Amino acid sequence: MNKRKNSRRKPYFGSVRFFRHLILTTIALLIIIPAGMAIYFKEQNKRLVKESYGLYSENLALQSQSDMAKNSEAVKETEPVQLSSGKYGEILVDTSSWELLLVNDTHPLSPQFKVNLVEIQPGQSVDARIVKDLQDMMAAAENEGYQLHIYSSFRDLKRQQSLFNDCLKRLQEEGLDYQQSFYESKAKLALPGTSEHQTGLAVDIAPKAYFYLDEERGGQKEAVWLAENSCRFGFVLRYPKDKENITGIRYEPEHFRYVGKTVAKFLTENDLALEEFYDILQKSSTLKKME
């Protein structure tokens, strides 16, 4: 009897059962290992992005003090610069003027930056030095039948941080991972410390009857009027179309920045972003030094 039982037992290795188990194990490993690696690298990438943003925030003050300390200094009395360009013509500009303050990712505000604010509309304040020109622009628009409203003006660092974090959180809740949410938020909102709204020189203006600040608003008659006429009052459309790679911010048909009437006219007529204007100034200065 025992002999019959032993004769029925077949070796496991090399058997059908062995190969079945081997195949199932191999398939399981082929699924588990790549999935595990994908999760691992995703978490690592998420951690690196968070650390990068954390380091950015921690070092912002140091970077600001070294690169942009001049923002908090009193404007020095200097001779205006005659900028001459075969392509853009000539312009007489005081490069040290507060009107030309450049604020973006690479030019953050100094932690000591302060601004004298005046309320221009309930809950909305701007730099006291631009109040008259802003009021004149709003009045001119109203005289021509355009009803405008200021939806956003000065925002302090804390407010900008809150808006950025809210956008970051909302995008993650919509299904984007941290890295995607971060860069999507950065395209919509300037990083805290790099927003023009913190200068008091920028305003978001839209029709009273149109509450959504989006790209669709750019085609409305009020937005068209502002884009064409704001330069008469010292303002420019700060983040125009097809300039995202230069400004770092997506097209915002409602965002207008005060740069003074001379520079505003020059930028509008030559279709230049403020970053491009600074690049021209830098090249002009370099050429003069070489001469």
**Which residues are catalytically annotated?**
252
Q: Which of 260, 229, 261, 257 is nearest to 243 (CA)?
A: 257
Q: Computed from CA positions of residues 205, 57, 182, 246, in that sequence, does the dihedral angle turn out positive or negative?
A: positive
Non-local CB neighbours of 242 within 8 Å, separated by 6+ positions: 251
d(CA 231, CA 265): 5
Look at strands 81-85 and 89-93 and give their pairing. antiparallel
Half-sphere exposure for 289 (CA within 13 Å, toward CB): 6
Distances (CA, A) of 274 to 69, 81, 103, 208, 264: 20, 17, 10, 28, 9
d(CA 150, CA 130): 14
Q: Which of 226, 237, 236, 228 is nearest to 148 (CA)?
A: 226
3-state secondary structure of 237: strand
* Helix ranges, 97-203 (H): 131-143, 157-173, 178-188
- Please, are residues 153 and 197 in contact by the beta-carbon 8 Å criterion? yes
